[in-house]
């Protein structure tokens, strides 16, 4: 149960951090001039955020097992 709790906590923090990072990266690097804000929001919410959340959740679960 402790592993699940830590995994979910890390995943939540990872999603928020990954979404913010993804949004900023798309804003800085995208050559799209018509809907850059929409592209950044969708990429952050549906690509970068979930990827980082999964990775962070696994890391959290592993770290909780070692303690």
pLDDT in tens, 24-47: 999 999 999 899 999 999 999 999
Task: For residues 32 and 26, give the distance between their C-alpha atoms in angstroms, rounded to a whole number.
Answer: 9
Give me the percent of the chain exceeding a pLDDT of 90.
90
Give 5's contacts (C-beta < 8 A, 6+ positions apart): 64
Q: Own/partner pairs for 26-34, CB < 8 Å, 24+ apart?
A: none
What is the pLDDT at residue 67? 56
What is the pLDDT at residue 30? 93
**In the numeric block, which tokens belong to residue 51?**
């990827």
Q: Give the residue extent of every domain in the chain.
A: 2-66
Alpha-carbon torsion (2, 13, 63, 57), positive or negative: positive
What is the pLDDT at residue 65? 81
């Amino acid at each position: 149960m402790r592993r699940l709790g830590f995994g979910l906590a890390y995943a939540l923090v990872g999603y928020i951090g990954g979404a913010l990072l993804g949004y900023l990266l798309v804003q800085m690097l995208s050559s799209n001039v018509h809907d850059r804000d929409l592209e950044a929001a969708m990429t952050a919410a549906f690509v970068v955020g979930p990827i980082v959340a999964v990775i962070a959740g696994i890391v959290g679960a592993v770290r909780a097992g070692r303690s």
